[in-house]
C-alpha cells in the first residue's frame, strides 16, 4: 500500500508473503497483476492516438475493425463507436479469456474468431452504462492498430515509460528474471490448483482487462498524471475528458459516473462517515490478485493497494488513510431516495433471449417479487424477492451469488414503466417488440458474486 500527496510518496509499506512456497516477503517493489485498473492506461493510449490526429473517439469501430460482427447479434457492431467502448456503453456480454486455449492467438484473430462467433449484445450500443471487459479489449486493439504496433509496445512507449511507471511490464520473461513478483494459487483449465507465474493468464484479448504487472508506486505515478497532466502523454483536453463524467452509472443514489477508464463519485464513505469531496477510482481483480486506486483531486492525494490471495477488499483502509493526510471532516451523507412509484414502474414482463430468459416482476405491498422460468427449468435456485438498495437499484440472490440489478428508463417518465432490467452479465427488456434474435433455451451464464 502507498499514499501520495502533492506528487510526493508520504507512505509506503508491505506485509505478507509474495511467494508462500519460498517464504519471500512482499515489498513495495513487488510486481503484481494490476487488474482492471489497466483500463485507465488503455484509455490514455487510445486518446493519445486521438491527440495525434490518427483517430477520433467518435469513429465507429468498423473504421478500424472492418466487417467485425456478432453472429448472435447481427448488425450490432454497426452502431458501436470508440466513445462507447471506453465509456462502457458497447452493450456486450461481459467476457474475458484470461486462461487461453491458444496463448499464441492474437487479439485481432480472437476478436474476429471466438468473440465474433460466440458473444452477443445485451442492449444496443449507447443505451446505458454497463461494465464489460470486451469494451476495453476492443479499444486496446483499435489503439494498437492506429499506432501500427502491438498493444504491449504501445502501452510501454506511450504510457508506462513517459510516466515513470518503471516496473510496469507485460513481458513475462522480464518479470520472471527480475524475480520480485507475487504468486497466488488459481484453478487452471483442467480444474487443478496451480501457482500463478508471469506466463499464466496470458491472453492478448485480455490485456486491457488486467494482465500487466506493476507496483503500487507505478499506480500512483499514473494517478499523479491524472491530476497534474503531462503534455507528452495527453493534451489537457483529453486528460480532462478522462475524469469528466461521460455516462451515469445509475447506481444507488445516482452519485457516480464513468469517464474514460475512471469511475467518478461526488463523495465517499469510510465506515459511517461521509466525505463530500470528489473521488476518482478504479478497482481490479484477476485470479486472486486485487488492486484498488483512489484519488481525491481537490486534496491532491492518491492511494493504491495491491493484494494477493484471499482477503478483504481494502477500500476503507485506503480511503481512511487518505482522510488522515488531509483536512477533510465528515459531512451529511446524501439521501438515497425511496419512491414508491419506482415499484409500480418496475412491474411487468422482461425478456432476455440469450441468458436468464423471461422475468416476471410483480409488486406485493412495498416489495418487488420476481419469477424466472428459465432458472426454474435448469434448477438454478434464486430468491423470489428483489431487495431494495436505492432508488431503482435492487439486489437479486441467484445460486449463492448477489447480483445488483437496476431498472432503467429511456425517457425518465415512470408512468411509462422502466424499459430495461440491467446487470453486468444479463439485461432483460420490457416485453415489447423484441428486436434481438431469440435463441434456443440454454443454461444461464452466471458468475457467482457479481454484485455490480
**pLDDT of the residue at 448:** 47
Nearest one of 175, 128, 144, 138 to 60, comparing CA atoms: 138
**pLDDT of the residue at 410:** 83
Ordered domains of the chain (ranges, CATH): 2-324 (3.40.710.10), 340-430 (2.40.128)
Record the cell numbers describing residue 149, joined without a space. 504496433
Beta bridge partners of 425: none
- Is the pLDDT at 434 greater than 50? The verdict is no
pLDDT in tens, 357-384: 999 999 999 999 999 999 999 999 999 9
**pLDDT of the residue at 403:** 94
DSSP 3-state of 99: coil
pLDDT in tens, 282-307: 999 888 899 999 999 999 999 999 99
Rounded distance, CA 313 to CA 292, Å? 8
pLDDT in tens, 25-48: 999 999 999 889 999 999 999 999
Residues 6 or more apart in contact with residue 2 via CB below 8 angstroms: 9, 11, 12, 13, 28, 216, 217, 220, 303, 304
Record the cell numbers describing residue 87, joined without a space. 465509456
Q: What is the mean pLDDT of the chain?
A: 92
Where residue 88 falls (left for φ over 0; alpha for ψ -120 to 50; beta otherwise) is left
Record the cell numbers describing residue 322, joined without a space. 487518505
pLDDT in tens, 235-279: 999 999 999 999 999 986 678 999 999 999 999 999 889 999 999
pLDDT in tens, 373-428: 999 999 999 999 999 998 899 999 999 999 999 999 987 788 889 999 999 999 99
Record the cell numbers describing residue 166, joined without a space. 518503471
Amino acid at each position: 500500500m502507498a499514499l501520495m500527496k502533492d506528487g510526493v510518496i508520504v507512505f509506503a509499506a508491505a506485509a505478507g508473503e509474495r511467494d508462500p512456497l519460498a517464504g519471500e516477503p512482499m515489498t513495495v517493489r513487488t510486481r503484481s497483476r494490476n487488474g482492471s485498473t489497466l483500463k485507465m492506461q488503455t484509455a490514455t493510449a487510445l486518446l493519445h492516438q486521438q491527440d495525434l490526429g490518427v483517430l477520433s473517439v467518435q469513429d465507429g469501430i468498423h473504421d478500424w475493425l472492418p466487417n467485425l460482427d456478432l453472429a448472435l447479434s447481427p448488425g450490432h457492431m454497426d452502431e458501436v463507436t470508440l466513445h462507447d467502448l471506453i465509456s462502457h456503453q458497447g452493450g456486450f456480454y461481459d467476457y474475458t479469456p484470461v486462461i487461453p486455449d491458444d496463448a499464441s492467438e492474437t487479439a485481432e484473430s480472437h476478436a474476429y474468431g471466438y468473440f465474433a462467433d460466440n458473444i452477443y449484445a445485451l442492449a444496443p450500443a449507447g443505451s446505458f452504462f454497463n461494465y464489460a471487459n470486451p469494451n476495453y479489449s476492443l479499444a486496446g486493439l483499435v489503439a494498437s492498430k492506429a499506432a501500427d504496433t502491438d498493444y504491449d509496445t504501445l502501452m510501454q512507449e506511450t504510457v508506462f515509460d513517459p510516466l515513470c511507471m518503471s516496473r510496469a511490464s507485460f513481458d513475462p520473461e522480464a518479470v520472471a528474471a527480475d524475480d520480485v513478483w507475487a504468486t497466488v494459487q488459481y484453478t487452471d483449465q483442467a480444474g487443478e490448483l496451480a501457482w500463478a507465474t508471469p506466463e499464466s493468464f496470458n491472453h492478448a484479448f485480455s490485456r486491457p482487462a488486467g494482465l500487466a504487472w506493476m507496483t503500487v508506486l507505478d499506480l500512483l505515478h499514473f494517478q499523479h498524471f491524472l491530476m497534474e497532466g503531462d503534455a507528452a502523454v495527453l493534451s489537457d483536453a483529453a486528460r480532462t475528458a478522462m475524469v469528466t463524467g461521460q455516462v451515469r452509472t445509475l447506481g444507488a443514489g445516482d452519485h457516480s459516473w464513468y469517464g474514460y477508464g475512471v469511475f467518478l463519485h461526488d463523495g465517499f464513505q469510510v465506515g459511517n462517515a461521509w466525505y463530500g469531496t470528489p473521488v476518482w477510482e478504479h478497482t481490479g481483480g484477476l485470479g486472486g490478485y486485487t488492486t484498488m486506486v483512489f484519488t481525491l483531486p481537490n486534496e491532491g492525494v492518491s492511494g493504491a493497494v495491491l493484494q494477493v490471495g484471499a482477503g478483504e477488499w481494502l477500500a476503507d483502509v485506503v480511503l481512511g488513510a487518505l482522510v488522515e493526510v488531509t483536512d477533510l471532516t465528515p459531512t451529511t451523507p446524501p439521501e438515497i431516495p425511496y419512491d414508491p412509484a419506482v415499484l409500480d414502474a418496475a412491474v411487468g414482463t422482461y425478456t432476455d433471449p440469450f441468458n436468464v430468459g423471461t422475468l416476471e416482476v410483480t409488486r406485493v405491498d412495498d416489495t418487488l417479487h420476481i419469477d424466472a422460468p428459465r432458472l426454474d427449468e435448469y434448477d438454478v435456485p434464486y430468491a423470489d424477492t428483489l431487495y431494495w438498495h436505492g432508488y431503482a437499484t435492487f439486489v437479486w440472490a441467484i445460486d449463492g451469488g448477489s447480483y445488483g440489478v437496476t431498472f432503467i428508463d429511456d425517457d425518465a417518465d415512470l408512468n411509462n414503466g422502466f424499459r430495461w432490467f440491467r446487470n453486468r452479465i444479463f439485461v432483460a427488456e420490457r416485453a415489447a417488440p423484441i428486436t434481438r434474435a431469440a435463441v434456443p433455451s440454454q443454461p444461464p451464464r452466471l458468475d457467482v458474486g457479481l454484485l455490480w
